[in-house]
Amino acid sequence: MRALIKTLFVFLVVVTALVAAGNQGIGPVVITREGTQQIILRFGDPRAVVQPGPSWRIPLIEETKTYDRRLLYLNTEQDVIQTKDQERIMVDNYAMWRIDGPEAFLSSFPKGMQQAEKQMDRVVRARVREVVARHTLTQVLTDLRTPIMEEIRDGVKESFIGTGIAIDDVRINRTELPPSIEQNVFARMKTDRDRLARKYRAEGEEQARRIRAEADRDARVIVAKARGEAEISRGEGDAQATRIYAEAYGRDPEFYAFVRSLEAYRKTIGEGTTLILSPDSEFFQYFGSSGVTGPSKGSPAQP
């Protein structure tokens, strides 16, 4: 029993030592942690790519190189780029990438991550400069920003095919104007906006004049139509009044003459009016009569 316990103890010590040596990269046991990937090299030549978990190697003959499997972030250097409309802007961009094939990565970048990141920085900056130079400042900042980013990403992806690097995304982090030309650009933008404002105001005034002219024309048509209808109504009213007067005169000429004389008095003699007429004037023929009929010939009218 003691011998068995001793054997188990020795076994555990040996396993622990092998695991510790594997963690240090000097033992026969290779421990690959989650989120990493390792490649085993025999005399510098790739032998196998091991995934997370334990694996074996031959000490002193085989060695391992460890690479991250997770998504990596690269912030490229800021660069000054000239756009299609001759504007100079400062562009700061970044790339999201991962090691997709350790063997191809080792073959393409034998010096490791630093060499790969320098190469990626050069490729990304060159691609950004090429694409931005084919677009105007407005397109880069607003109109075509998303298509421009997609074009840059696809170009960088294509450049790293077969190198063991997979590009997930490339984005412009910040776009600024150099301080030396910022004021000039703002002044030019203000001039352009003022020109557009004058254009829009002129178009608005022209449209307003057209609307007012159409409204005045419609108003004149409506007024003319209303006046025509009024004249027709007035003519019909006058015709009807004339007919009524004619009927009244035909029935009782003396009463009709009396009513017309009263109407003449009402329109002619107002408050404070002074008339100097002969008492025998026909205008006063009804003043001296108490009846409806006029006075007999030779009868003086009452003043």
Phi (first) and psi of residue 112, to 5 degrees: 95, -155
Distance CA 156, CA 150 (A): 10
Helix ranges (DSSP H) in the chain: 2-24, 102-108, 113-132, 137-138, 145-159, 179-251, 253-268
Could you say which of 126, 154, 176 is where a domain stops?
176
Asked if residue 242 is part of any domain, the answer here is no
- Are residue 98 and residue 154 in the same domain, yes or no? yes
User: 19 with 106, same domain?
Assistant: no
Residue 23 in any domain: the answer is yes
The number of folded domains in the chain is: 2
Strand-pairing partners, residue 97, are 72, 167
User: Amino acid identity, residue 254?
Assistant: E
Residue 263 inside a domain? The answer is no
- Same domain as 90, residue 55: no
Q: Answer yes or no: are the C-beta atoms of 27 and 59 closer than 8 Å.
A: yes
Provide the 3-class DSSP secondary structure of residue 20.
Answer: helix
| 164: Cα separation from own chain's centroid | 41
Q: What is the CA radius of gyration of the chain?
A: 55
* Residue pair 23/46 in contact by the 8 Å Cβ criterion: no
Domain identity same for 87 and 140 = yes
Give per-10-residue mean pLDDT for the chain (303 aa): 64 56 57 73 71 64 76 86 83 88 86 90 91 85 82 91 91 76 74 90 92 92 91 89 78 74 74 70 60 42 35
What is the extent of the structural domain holding 13? 2-68
Residue 112 lies in a domain: yes
Q: Last residue of a domain, which of 10, 45, 68?
A: 68
Residue 29's nearest CA partner among 50, 56, 49, 60 is 56
Position 51 in a domain: yes
Q: For residue 37, what pLDDT is reported?
A: 79
SS3 label, residue 254: helix
Whether 133 maps to a domain, the answer reads yes
Rounded Cα distance, 157 and 174, in Å? 21
Q: Answer yes or no: is 15 within a domain.
A: yes
What six digits make up the tokens of 29? Answer: 């046991």
Tell whether 46 and 135 lie within a shared domain: no
Interatomic CA distance for residues 33 and 27, integer angstroms: 16
Position 211 scores a pLDDT of 94
Q: Are residues 99 and 161 in the same domain?
A: yes
Residue 210: predicted pLDDT: 92
> What's the one-letter identity of residue 98?
R
- 105: its two tokens: 């990565």
108 CB neighbour count, 10 Å cutoff: 16
Identify the domain boundary among 176, 205, 233: 176
- Domain assignment present for residue 82? The answer is yes
Structure confidence at residue 9 (pLDDT): 57
Per-residue CA distances from 45 to 8, 34, 102, 193 (Å):
37, 24, 12, 65
Does 60 lie in the same domain as 77? no
| Domain harbouring 115, CATH code | 3.30.479.30
